[in-house]
Amino acid sequence: MSYKKIGWFTTARDKAALDLLRTVYSEIKRGNISAKLSYVFVSKAPDEGKWAKKLIEEAKEEMGLKVVWFSAERFKPELRKAQRDLWRKEYHAEVLKRLDMEIDFGVLAGYMWITSEEFCKQLRLINLHPALPGGPKGSWQEVIWQLISSRAMETGAMFHQVTPELDEGPALTYFRLNLRTYEFIPLWEETETKLLKHHLSGLKKLEGEENALFRKIREEELKRELPLLVFTLKYLCDEKIGFEGDTPVDLTEEIEKSLSDFIIT
């Protein structure tokens, strides 16, 4: 049986990062993804937070995976402050020196650093972006505020190829999420009243991420991001999709049918 060799890249900053690795590892072990995790790269040292320590230990001791870690925070911090682009280039050059195994592609799974141009050229990488193809750019927080500001009818998330242009790489897969269902409508009405009074900047200061609509959008997206990852890896490893500029695949229907299989506690 043929399988793809995958590199896993994470900053291991929270439980969600570990949940992603656990789920994909489990799906590979069960034979649902035709892949092998060649290594796990962590951009933190084991003593930089409990989740970094836990992920590194679990990946090595329980999953038997090769783990490479190299702290981004501790690498030339003065250069990072003064010349971010140069720091990014030098940091990722050091990372490449530590990755001695060939892979078919790498997955940025909660990897919180923008990669260098050379890094993108040396490794074929895919990344999750919490918006539809052609949708808002930025962090998931920035995307949600843009959705609220524009009174968006729908949103989603996609896996795309990583290129030197941030969030501009070709999309591979995506799902759609209707933001005007019966669950969302009262939250829109409530938020609209606040927007008329405080505008977006005022709403951010008043409620921030505790805004009920903001939280609901994030909650529903998160439910679907894990199955999106699993189905994307399955399709790539089975060569149902490729990296050669194909039209991105809409996985909405499959994801909606499988939501109950991906409940994380």
Burial of 9 (0-12, 13-18, 19+ CB in 10 A): buried
Q: How confident is the model at residue 195 (pLDDT cuts 50, 70, 90)?
A: very high
Q: How many domains does the chain have?
A: 1
Q: Which amino acid is at 244?
A: E
**Mind listing the pLDDT tens digit for each residue in 237-259?**
999 998 876 789 999 999 999 88
CATH of the domain at 184: 3.40.50.170
Domain that holds residue 192: 4-262
**Mind listing the pLDDT tens digit for each residue in 42-81?**
999 999 999 999 999 999 999 999 999 999 999 999 999 9
Helix (H, G, I), strand (E, B) or coil at 179: coil
Q: 248: Cβ–Cβ under 8 A, 6 or more apart, which residues?
A: 133, 158, 170, 171, 172, 173, 174
Burial of 240 (0-12, 13-18, 19+ CB in 10 A): exposed
* Model pTM score: 0.90
Is the predicted pLDDT of residue 265 greater than 80, yes or no?
no
Q: Tell me which of 244 and 193 has the higher pLDDT.
A: 193
Q: 78: Cβ–Cβ under 8 A, 6 or more apart, which residues?
A: none
Beta bridge partners of 43: none
Give the whole-angstrom CA distance, residue 35 versus residue 104: 10
Task: State the average pLDDT for the chain.
Answer: 92
Q: What is the pLDDT of residue 259?
A: 86
